[in-house]
Amino acid sequence: MLHQAWSEVRRHPGRFISTMLAIAISVAFLAGSSVLVATEAQAQGKAANLPIAMADLVVSTEEPVPGLTKVIAGVPGVAIASPSAASNEVVTNGAISQLLQLFVPPPEPLRWSKLTEGRWPTGADEIALSSAVSRALNVGIGQGVRVAGSDTQLTVVGLTDEPAGMFVKTGYTSIARLSQGGWTEDLTTEWAIKLAPDANIDQVLDAINAELATVAPKAKAELAQVVRDRQASRVAGELDAFNVVLWVGAAASVIVGMITIANTFTITLAQRRRQIGLLRAVGASAAQVRFRFLAEAALLGVIGSLIGVLAGIGIAVAITSWSSALYWGLALPWSRMALAFGIGVMVAVIAAIVPVMRGTKVAPVEALQPELSMDERKRAGVVRAIICGLLLVAGLGLAAFSVSRPDPNALLYAIGAATLISLGVLFGGPLFVPGLLRLVGRLVRRFGTVPLLAANNTERNPRRATATATALMLAVGLVVTMQVTTASIRASILGELEVRFPVDVQVAWTDADGNPTAVPEDVRTKLGTVPGVVDTVELPAGLAHLGSADDARLVTLLGAQPTVASVVGIPVSVSDQQVLVDPGTAKNLPSSIEVKGEAGTVKLQVVGSKVVTSDQAMVSAANLAKISKAAPAAVIWLSVPDRSQALNVLVGVNELAADQNRVTGSLVEASAYESLMNLLVAITTGLLGVAVVIALIGVSNTLGLSVLERTRESGLLRALGLQASSLRTMLTIEALEVAVVGVLVGTAAGAGFGWLAITALGRASDVQELSYAVDGPQTLGMLGIAVLAAALASYLPGRRAAKTAPTEALAEL
Amino acid sequence: MTATVAVDHVVAAQALTKVYRSGEAAVHALDGVDLGFIRGSFAAIMGPSGSGKSTLMHCLAGLDRPTSGEVLIDGRQLSGLSDRELTRVRRDQVGFVFQAFNLLPTLTAEQNIMLPLELSGRRADPEVFAQLVDSLRLGDRLKHLPSQLSGGQQQRVAIARALIGRPSVVFADEPTGALDSRASQQLLDYLRHTSQVLGQTIVMVTHDPNAAAYADRTVLLSDGRVVDDLSAPTADTILATMKRWGS
């Protein structure tokens, strides 16, 4: 039986390519994403822990032990014990700044990067940069960079080849420079160790630990691999959200793949009815026939999965070399890859079971009938309607329940509800998809003979068209759900950032006693010209006590200005009866309070607002004049809407302020949040896009196989004078009809599920109400691409149909 | 034999050859065929399986391209025409009736009949349509799908479709092959009627001497050559001739 299956696959590869492709892509997704995550995590683990990247062993200690370097180096088997020496510094060239982790290059076998140009730094005024950093700072060898906030100039003497990590950007410094900052070898807390060539790693490990136990009980040695893995898994753990998305994407691609495979199998079996009848006629039992076709499915699964695993590795290599994680080596998680392979084979067989059961119920006599009716016009069953109805009712009920009240588990309920509704919609496909197709067909038919033929073809096989549209529906639905959810979270978090950290950057001047003093004139004018700063507001300030008691809190009292709201980006209003304090302070104060300064006291209503910090309060300018004797313009708030400029702006402002204590603000936190959110949205869309691609392959498959079935018809049409180009147009219209239905239903469902997810997320967290948002251009763009791609998916089938010789219509069966 | 083509030949073949290659072996399906069919004639092409009669018809109808030689329809050479132009010739100048799978299963009988006109963007003459439908007794079947029609009805729809555009020539490939004897007889009567009364040129491929007897000329093919050409044959003369050629 197996060799029969093999010869079938070998002789008619075309018949099986589409099935194999669907399996291969699903498996490639599973295998590729696990290789990708492992490689990225390994790279981040190494990049975040560079000094031990090449080490065999690592010694770390909680507190420095003088002379420990010599002790470790003295253990037999240790070739090199290199103390890790590093510092973090912001270096600047013009308006561009970079936060660098600067290392002292260790001896050769422990070095993780190579010089591409120049030499390693030795003098106190020298620095080497990784090429990526040198490009970002726009400096080359022989040019200078400045340490931010100081006059220290460093000359770039070397460039290295390692990529810029996601979290860490690297440069190299010298012992001489570190020593100037007070560093000595005795302050080391970590050593990278390289073994002598013939040393046994476990023996040396034990020897070092034995030695450490006596001289430095708080130090210990570990295998470097163990430390690196720990770091990698910590990074992977930080990418938890990423992992969830990955699994959703993988599950989606597997399910969509399964629908596509089942669909393809149904069609190939329909084409082979005569073959099946013949097998039965010559005495094969129904069970034998079934086994034969399942063996074929398994064989396809094995071949497809093998191709998929290889393709997955290839894709992961391509992506990691683009993201430069490949620099740190490819990680192949064998168990995950084996799992992907197994899933591929299983999916192929499972997807084939129903079509095989249905397709092999062929009476032997069918082999002898000259003509087969390809059309099926079965009515969808009542049982199906009842089951789908129950699923929908249960799903909608659970959805209503999940959003009805605050509950930490609301999101779980919502996911359950979405799953039930999805199942209802997907299994209910035969109940409503044919109707939708008829509706679309009615519109299409008016445009002439070719659209009429296309619309008829789409409707002639409702079950098949439904399955094809359903796969697309599922994929598009998931993508839209994720897009809406992430767009909403993104909008909400960005909104939240505005509310929580309304002041991007604050510059405040005080005298030695802490009294507000006017910001110097030249600083005031220059602040507005720092690149990235678009707006500023100067606030008069004085000191005041909140309350009249002895323990009344001393705050910097700010006088409101009309332009405050436009600078901080949230509404700010202070009437003459109000004082703004931060929300935490407001809770602990009475509803109205005396604000007491050197000039006088005013009783005001307490209002909570995030615009001020806990050591600030804000009153109207008129009140400030009544309370404070002098109110110099001591505080300036800056607006920096483009958060990617955060570091450059901070460095620029700090240099003007000349004292870091004068500069505060939320810009850096806000910029970190924002870039993370943007990354998540991009990754989500990319991953789920794969599911859409598989669904589109399904469209192409279905069409391609229909074309095979309709060879005679195509020939007849060509004989009667239909141009080849019209035949292609016909298939494009067929593809578009199915795609439009799938995309429309998927989008509607996705938008609904997105709302459900966001609302449930709001119910589950007490943060704040999340606002529903759709990224219009992104979502519309994705839908447009899906429809266009569906038209493209008709290209190959169309070409095949157009190639049909007219004589095929007359050929003997 | 020199290739002479009479001016009133609607369809003509000149030194037509068709060679199929499968690996080393070359099969001469047609081996220098010269033929012409005058306007209003009803001709049958006969011959045993593998004699090349289907290939001949495919080449004459512009469905297939000959290896060498020339086909003319209404005096126009088909060689050198692009696929697009050849398709237009089939659409506008040729009508087809096949043995089976004649009709598009998704179109009603009426839509099937109108298909060639729809494809060329022409309008049907309502009188011609009514006359055709009436003479083929299809009036109450127009809204039916092919699967709801009997074999005879399907074949009559196919004939209506072949005739609706008033083509220069109608090719019929074993038109009675899937019909019972009564339906066959009616169909052949109708074909003869259209050629005699309406002046429609018809070329019919068949292996049935009784069907060929309805034609006013029978061309006999063997091994890709024309071996005999009978005028006003009867079933008996055809049978006798066929026996002579060993089939």
pLDDT digits 0-9 by tens, A406-460:
777 787 888 888 888 988 888 888 888 889 999 998 988 888 888 888 888 888 7
pLDDT > 90 fraction of chain A, expressed in percent and rounded: 7
Range of the domain at B151: 40-54+82-244
Q: Is A405 helix (H, G, I), strand (E, B) or coil?
A: coil
B23 in a structural domain: no
Q: Residue A807: list chain B partners with CB under 8 A.
A: 58, 63-64
How many angstroms separate the CA of residue A374 from the nearest CA in chain B? 9
Q: What is the C-alpha to C-alpha distance for residues A455 and A800, in angstroms, rounded to an integer?
A: 20
Flag whether residue A449 sits within 8 Å of chain B, measured between CB atoms.
yes
The pLDDT score that the predictor gives to residue A683 is 67
CB contact under 8 A, A713 and B101: yes
Least confident range of A154-158, A377-381, A775-779, B228-232: A377-381
List of residues 6+ apart from A61 with CB closer than 8 A: A68, A189, A190, A216, A218, A219, A220
B12 in a structural domain: no
**Residues of A518-534 as b/e, b for ≥16 C-beta within 10 angstroms?**
bbeeebbeebeebebbe
The pLDDT score that the predictor gives to residue A345 is 92
Q: Residue A716: list chain B partners with CB under 8 A.
A: 98, 101-102, 104
Mutation for testing the B interface, residue in A720, A723, A728, A799 having most B CBs under 10 Å: A720
Q: What is the tens place of the pLDDT at every residue in A731-773?
A: 889 888 888 998 899 999 988 988 888 888 777 765 556 677 7
- Is residue A1 pLDDT above 70, yes or no? no
Confidence of residue A110 (pLDDT cuts 50, 70, 90): confident
Cβ-based contacts under 8 A for chains A and B: 77
Number of H helices, E strands in chain A: 26, 20
Q: Which of A373, A712, A718 sits opposite B147 (nearest CB)?
A: A373
| CA nearest neighbour of A32 among A246, A236, A328, A234 | A246
B22 in a structural domain: no
Higher pLDDT, A5 or A781: A781
Q: What is the C-alpha to C-alpha distance for residues A589 and B220, in angstroms, rounded to an integer?
A: 115
How many angstroms separate the CA of residue A424 from the nearest CA in chain B? 31
The amino acid that residue A501 corresponds to is F
- Is residue A245 pLDDT above 70, yes or no? no
Least confident range of A180-184, A214-218, A662-666: A662-666
List of residues 6+ apart from A174 with CB closer than 8 A: A104, A120, A121, A122, A123, A124, A126
How many angstroms separate the CA of residue A677 from the nearest CA in chain B? 52
The pLDDT score that the predictor gives to residue A370 is 46
pLDDT > 70 fraction of chain A, expressed in percent and rounded: 89
Q: What is the C-alpha to C-alpha distance for residues A755 and A484, in angstroms, rounded to an integer?
A: 8
Higher pLDDT, B4 or B164: B164
> Residues of chain B whose C-beta is under 8 A from some C-beta in A?
54, 58, 61, 63-64, 83-84, 87-88, 90-92, 96, 98-102, 104-107, 111, 115-116, 118-120, 147, 161, 173
DSSP tag of B12: E
Instruction: Tell the residue number behind the tokens 């009809």, with chain if given.
Output: A737
Confidence of residue A391 (pLDDT cuts 50, 70, 90): very high
Kindly identify which residue of chain B lies nearest to residue A727, measuring between CA atoms.
B119
Confidence of residue A376 (pLDDT cuts 50, 70, 90): very low
CB contact under 8 A, A721 and B147: no
B18 in a structural domain: no
Q: Which of A459, A723, A807 sits opposite B87 (nearest CB)?
A: A723
Confidence of residue A338 (pLDDT cuts 50, 70, 90): very high
Per-residue pLDDT, averaged over A158-179, amounts to: 80
Q: Which of A375, A724, A810 sits opposite B105 (nearest CB)?
A: A375
Per-residue pLDDT, averaged over A541-559, amounts to: 84
The pLDDT score that the predictor gives to residue A377 is 46
Per-residue pLDDT, averaged over A762-785, amounts to: 75
How many angstroms separate the CA of residue A803 from the nearest CA in chain B? 11
Flag whether residue A374 sits within 8 Å of chain B, measured between CB atoms.
yes
B31 in a structural domain: no
Q: Residue A373: list chain B partners with CB under 8 A.
A: 147
Confidence of residue B53 (pLDDT cuts 50, 70, 90): confident
Per-residue pLDDT, averaged over B16-30, amounts to: 83
CB contact under 8 A, B63 and A807: yes
Distances (CA, A) of A65 to A184, A332, B196: 12, 39, 119
Whether the CB-CB separation of A541 and A558 falls below 8 Å is answered with: yes
Q: What is the tens place of the pLDDT at every residue in A360-375?
A: 776 666 655 544 444 4
Give A663's strand partners. Answer: A507
The pLDDT score that the predictor gives to residue B7 is 58
CATH of residue B45: 3.40.50.300
The pLDDT score that the predictor gives to residue A375 is 45
Kindly identify which residue of chain A lies nearest to residue B86, measuring between CA atoms.
A721
The pLDDT score that the predictor gives to residue A369 is 53
B122 in a structural domain: yes
Per-residue pLDDT, averaged over A171-187, amounts to: 85
CB contact under 8 A, B115 and A712: no
The pLDDT score that the predictor gives to residue B3 is 45
How many angstroms separate the CA of residue B118 from the nearest CA in chain A? 6
CB contact under 8 A, B119 and A712: no
CB contact under 8 A, B64 and A449: no
B141 in a structural domain: yes
Confidence of residue A314 (pLDDT cuts 50, 70, 90): very high
CB contact under 8 A, B91 and A810: no
- Is residue A4 pLDDT above 60, yes or no? yes
The pLDDT score that the predictor gives to residue A366 is 60
How many angstroms separate the CA of residue B240 from the nearest CA in chain A? 28
The pLDDT score that the predictor gives to residue A425 is 87
B34 in a structural domain: no
Whether the CB-CB separation of A54 and A111 falls below 8 Å is answered with: yes
How many angstroms separate the CA of residue A485 from the nearest CA in chain B? 43
Flag whether residue A710 sits within 8 Å of chain B, measured between CB atoms.
no
Per-residue pLDDT, averaged over B70-81, amounts to: 89
How many angstroms separate the CA of residue A13 from the nearest CA in chain B? 21
User: Average pLDDT of chain B?
Assistant: 86
Q: What tokens does A524 get?
A: 């005031």
- Is residue B113 pLDDT above 50, yes or no? yes
Q: Residue B65: list chain A partners with CB under 8 A.
A: none
Q: What is the tens place of the pLDDT at every residue in B161-208?
A: 998 888 999 999 888 877 888 888 888 999 999 999 888 999 999 888
How many angstroms separate the CA of residue A467 from the nearest CA in chain B? 20
Flag whether residue A88 sits within 8 Å of chain B, measured between CB atoms.
no
Per-residue pLDDT, averaged over A154-166, amounts to: 82
- Is residue A9 pLDDT above 90, yes or no? no
B181-198 vs B151-164: helix axis angle to the nearest 10? 20
Confidence of residue A2 (pLDDT cuts 50, 70, 90): low
Whether the CB-CB separation of A472 and A739 falls below 8 Å is answered with: yes
For A:451-470, CB contacts with B below 8 A are 452-453, 456-457, 459-460
Kindly identify which residue of chain B lies nearest to residue A721, measuring between CA atoms.
B91
What's the structural domain count of chain B? 1
- Is residue B104 pLDDT above 50, yes or no? yes
Kindly identify which residue of chain B lies nearest to residue A372, measuring between CA atoms.
B101
Cβ of A336: how many Cβ atoms within 10 Å? 16
CB contact under 8 A, B91 and A718: no
| Strand ordering across the sheet containing B9-22 | B25-38, B9-22, B68-73, B76-77
The pLDDT score that the predictor gives to residue A157 is 93
How many angstroms separate the CA of residue A364 from the nearest CA in chain B? 22
Flag whether residue A599 sits within 8 Å of chain B, measured between CB atoms.
no
Q: What is the C-alpha to C-alpha distance for residues A133 and A184, in angstroms, rounded to an integer?
A: 27
Q: What is the tens place of the pLDDT at every residue in A190-220?
A: 899 999 888 888 999 999 998 888 888 888 8
Whether the CB-CB separation of A364 and A274 falls below 8 Å is answered with: no
Q: Which of B105, B116, B147 sits opposite A720 (nearest CB)?
A: B116
Q: Residue A724: list chain B partners with CB under 8 A.
A: 83-84, 87
**Structural domains of chain A, with CATH:** 86-180 (no CATH), 429-501+666-813 (no CATH), 503-665 (2.40.40.20)
Q: Residue A449: list chain B partners with CB under 8 A.
A: 115, 118-119
Whether the CB-CB separation of A216 and A79 falls below 8 Å is answered with: no
Higher pLDDT, A461 or A580: A580
Provide, for chain B, the percentages of residues in helix, strand and coil under a 3-state DSSP scheme, each rounded to the nearest 5: 40, 30, 35
Kindly identify which residue of chain A lies nearest to residue B57, measuring between CA atoms.
A807
Higher pLDDT, A705 or B37: B37
Q: What is the C-alpha to C-alpha distance for residues A655 and B240, in angstroms, rounded to an integer?
A: 115
User: Average pLDDT of chain A?
Assistant: 81
